[in-house]
Amino acid sequence: MTRNPLIVKGFVMAIKSARAKGARVERLAVKQLKAWGLKNPRRGLSQAAGAIEADVVCDSLKSFWVEVKGRATEGKCVYKWLEQAERDSKNTPKIPLVMYKANNKKFLIIADAEFLLPILCNHT
């Protein structure tokens, strides 16, 4: 066995590398960007020497630094907020988005990437 097992209450759980999880979600992001028709998406260079390139780079998103996060339980609440915006805007032609602000932080926009990224890329 190449992984170090972690035994918890009689169960053997494989320890997953955070780096491997990050790479997996980055590959998924690249695949999705391709499906949406964005130009030349790929994973950025390794971050081992520091942040040289974004997690995902794309010719269509040259002006943006795309940091990919995923599969973390901490961020799941944003889906409930976005689902509310989607429900409330259902009978309108408007694209739902959420503005979120934590204490002493800037506002963030939370929206469905399928709708927001084409707008940012000047696609119709």
Q: What pLDDT band is residue 83 in, cutting at 50, 70 and 90?
A: very high
Q: Do residues 96 and 49 both lie within one domain?
A: no
Does 94 score more than 80 pLDDT?
yes
Same domain, 113 and 86: yes
In a domain, 4, yes or no: no
CA nearest to 60, candidates 118, 4, 101, 10: 118
Residue 13 clears pLDDT 60, i.e. is over it: no
Of 10-14, 44-48, 49-53, 105-109, minimum mean pLDDT range: 10-14
Claim to verify: residue 61 and residue 78 sit in the same structural domain:
no
Q: How many domains does the chain have?
A: 2
DSSP 8-class letter at 63: T
Residue ranges making up the domain that contains 81: 72-124
Is 62 in the same domain as 78? no
- Rounded Cα–Cα distance for residues 26 and 53 (Å): 13
Residue 2 lies in a domain: no
**Whether residue 97 sits in one domain with residue 124:** yes
Tell me which H or E stretch contains 6: strand 5-8
Q: What is the DSSP letter of 116?
A: H
Domain co-membership, 66 together with 34: yes
Q: Of 49, 71, 93, which one is at a domain's C-terminal end?
A: 71
Confidence of residue 15 (pLDDT cuts 50, 70, 90): very low
- 82 and 40 in a single domain? The answer is no
> Across all residues in the chain, what is the average pLDDT?
83
| pTM for the full predicted model | 0.70
Are 61 and 98 within one domain?
A: no
